[in-house]
Amino acid sequence: MVIQIIVTIGIVLLVFPTVYSAFKKKTISLFSLIIWTLFWVGGIVIIWNPSLMGKISGFMGVQRSIDAIVYLAIVFLLYIVFRFRIRLNEMQREITMLTRKLAIKDINKKK
Amino acid sequence: METYIVLPAYNEGKVIKKLIESIKKEGYRNIIVVDDGSTDNTFSEAESTGVVAISHLINRGKGAATQTGIDAAKYLDADIIITMDSDGQHNPKDIVKLIKPLEKGECDVTIGSRFLEKSKNMPMSRVIMNRVGNYITAFFFHKLVTDSQSGFRGYSKKAANLVYTYEDRYEFESEMLGEISKHKLSVKEVPIEVIYTEYSLTKYNKQSSFSPQGLFNGIKMLIRFIEKALFK
């Protein structure tokens, strides 16, 4: 019971404001705001009704619900890493382009 | 025909001046030095010789610097662009071998190859390592050459306008081969001499020599190729 209260308060006080302020600053879209809110609300619902997870894992064909959570978390994290990797590549490329433009601009001045 | 020699340089302050002088001695006046965010006096040394010296504000890697040099040469309306390592391992006397076929219109790109002719002082291990590198490059970039990692290359105006690379570091030479094959450019390999001075051997980037560093770079390159296949 105590852990459920702590996690719920944590999500409400820390996660929701972070997501919302990111939306306010326009670093995430309205769509992302909705998805993330639903995701964390879903988390709270499952925390308070652990039997729900049993149904989900039963649907997935996994016996223990904790296994289902771990599988889903791994898939989710891999996806996030993939997105980061792509974004990182893009940023590297942009930095190189910027550096290149600045270097070539120097020739202009010297000419 | 305007020929430009592009020298990507990172911390080559000790040798860059000598190299520029020896290139000038061969009769080439148009030289572009791209200082890749060096922490030494590479830029001022290059600038003092009166050549076109430009610099990356931050270090972006040899590949990035070479592409910047090619862009600069294009901007200065070059007809032929030669890229060369700036640590002194390439002989300026070989530049003419890279230019001739381009001038005659025999091909669009020339590649100086260290392995075209049997070299007397080339250790077997290096020859094998290079061959493995060539096949890996051919697998990912569909172009088999005898020296896929050579930075001594020549580009015609047509080739320079078509190719564009995004790889910042060592993978650059291979990616360029991919560009060459993508645009169906014709390639001619010419034999070149490599000068292994003590300086060039101790420099960080000698994947050409068989050293733990060279092997390490090779493995890193393979990982980057796989990454490229997955993420780009």
Helix, strand or coil, per DSSP, at residue B6: strand
Of B31, B40, B39, B29, which is closest to residue B8 (Cα–Cα)?
A: B31
Kind and range of the H or E run holding B190: strand B187-191
Beta partners for residue B153, in sequence order:
B83, B111
B60–A110 CB contact, under 8 Å: no
**Average pLDDT score over residue span B8-35:** 95
Structure tokens that stand for A88 in this block: 């990182």
Residue B207 has pLDDT above 50, yes or no: no
- Return the pLDDT at B231: 65
Q: Does A109 touch chain B (CB under 8 A)?
A: no
Q: Does B34 touch chain A (CB under 8 A)?
A: yes
- For A57, phi and psi rounded to 5 degrees? -65, -35
Amino acid at B94: D
Structure tokens that stand for B14 in this block: 């000790």
Residue B205 has pLDDT above 50, yes or no: no
A99–B76 CB contact, under 8 Å: no
- For A50, phi and psi rounded to 5 degrees? -55, -25
Q: Does B68 touch chain A (CB under 8 A)?
A: yes
> Where residue B211 falls among pLDDT bands split at 50, 70, 90?
low
Q: What is the pLDDT of residues A10-35, one digit of tens each?
A: 989 999 999 999 999 988 888 889 99
> b/e map of A40-62 (b: 16 or more CB within 10 Å)?
eeeeeeebeeeeebeeebeeeeb
Structure tokens that stand for A91 in this block: 């940023």
**Average pLDDT score over residue span A52-56:** 81
Residue B182 has pLDDT above 90, yes or no: yes
Mutate to test the interface with A, among B7, B30, B168 (most CBs of A within 10 A): B168
> b/e map of B184-209 (b: 16 or more CB within 10 Å)?
ebebbbbbbebeeeeebeebebbbbb
Burial label, A98 (beta-carbon count in 10 A; 0-12, 13-18, 19+): middle
- Return the pLDDT at B208: 47
Distances (CA, A) of B52 to A52, B47, B78: 70, 7, 13
Amino acid at A57: S
**Least confident window among B16-25, B151-160, B198-207:** B198-207
Beta partners for residue B4, in sequence order:
B81
Residue B1 has pLDDT above 50, yes or no: yes
Count of A-B CB contacts under 8 Å: 49
- Return the pLDDT at B204: 45
What value does the mean pLDDT of chain B take? Answer: 87
Residue B232 has pLDDT above 80, yes or no: no
- For B58, phi and psi rounded to 5 degrees? -130, 155
Neighbouring C-alpha atoms within 13 Å toward the C-beta of A110: 15
> Where residue A56 falls among pLDDT bands split at 50, 70, 90?
confident
- Return the pLDDT at B214: 62
Higher pLDDT, A6 or B127: A6
Question: Which DSSP category does B10 fall into?
Answer: S
- Closest chain B C-alpha to A97 CA, distance in angstroms: 9
Residue B121 has pLDDT above 70, yes or no: no
Higher pLDDT, A103 or B218: A103
Q: Does A93 touch chain B (CB under 8 A)?
A: yes
- Closest chain B C-alpha to A91 CA, distance in angstroms: 12
Mutate to test the interface with B, among A91, A96, A97, A105 (most CBs of B within 10 A): A96
- Closest chain B C-alpha to A83 CA, distance in angstroms: 9
Q: Which residue segments constitute the domains of chain B, with CATH numbers given?
A: 3-231 (3.90.550.10)
Among A82, A92, A100, beta carbon nearest to B68: A100
Among B54, B67, B168, beta carbon nearest to A107: B54
Dihedral over Cα of B125, B126, B129, B130: its sign: negative
Residues 6+ apart with CB under 8 A from B70: B6, B81, B83, B155, B160
Q: What is the pLDDT of residues A67-111, one digit of tens each?
A: 888 888 899 999 999 999 889 989 999 999 999 999 999 887 665
Measured CA to CA, the distance from residue B94 to residue B103 in angstroms comes to 15
Q: Please report residues of B whose CB lies closer than 8 A to that of A104.
A: 54, 68, 71-72, 75
Q: Please report residues of A whose CB lies closer than 8 A to that of B64.
A: 96, 99-100
Domain boundaries, chain A: 1-48, 64-111
